[in-house]
Amino acid sequence: MTKETLALSPALHDYVVANGSAPDDIVRDLIDETARVLPADQGMQIAPEQAGFMTLLARIIGARQAVEIGTFTGLSSIAIARGLADGGRLTCFDVSDEFTSIARRYWKRAGLDDRIELRIGPAAETLPTLPDEPHLDLAFIDADKTGYLTYWEALVPRMRPGGLILVDNVLRHGHIIDADPGDAGTIAMIEFNRYVLADDRVESVLLPLADGLTIARRR
């Protein structure tokens, strides 16, 4: 028994991935290509154990209508789309044709391109194109941190009761508790975490998974 989450050494992290969410060839190739082609940006990709968790979570809730804000090279979208119920659809919002061109190739290779729609443009402008009524089962936010509150406010009213919003990077590599966070993204995340905790439209937990993952359930 322990009252704190176990810190993972690199070897223990490898064990967790191998025994709980081992990437298949498609995911492994995507991770490798992202590291090779975009070495300076590869940190924007979600962790493999997080991908496995998101697939399972989507399956558990029987998600059919899902949204992702921030697609990068496609690992999180593959994870969500693989967990959707038959006939499910995932709408992805991103600003980069360069990054998402990689995602498109891997969606096709994974046989998921028929259930994923990509909308290019600032999410603050493109999210309002979604229907206003509560219809979303699952949403994932993993984009510019200063925009998180805007995306949250656009998504919460569109979530059906019991729908889940997943929010990435809520720990900011541990800098969330720095006395002087320094960068605008971490300052925005501090405000965002406080806002979510006080939002009575949802019930939420913050998990120390990868760089911190908030799971919020629409009441």
The predicted-structure confidence for 111-168, as pLDDT tens digits, reads as follows 999 999 999 999 999 999 999 999 999 999 999 999 999 999 999 999 999 999 999 9
Q: How far apart are CA 35 and CA 43, in angstroms?
A: 9
Q: How far apart are CA 155 and CA 160, in angstroms?
A: 10
What is the average pLDDT across 5-26?
91
H-type alpha helices, the chain: 10-20, 25-37, 48-61, 75-83, 97-109, 123-126, 148-155, 184-198
Q: How far apart are CA 98 and CA 172, in angstroms?
A: 25
Strands 202-207 and 213-218: antiparallel
pTM of the model: 0.95
Report the candidate in 96, 52, 95, 104 with the shortest Cα–Cα distance to residue 74: 104
Could you report the per-residue pLDDT of 65-110, keeping only the tens digit for each?
999 999 999 999 999 999 999 999 999 999 999 999 999 999 999 9
Q: Which two tokens stand for residue 135?
A: 């219809």
Residue 57, Cβ density class (10 Å: 0-12 exposed, 13-18 middle, ≥19 buried)? middle
The whole-number pLDDT of residue 58 equals 98
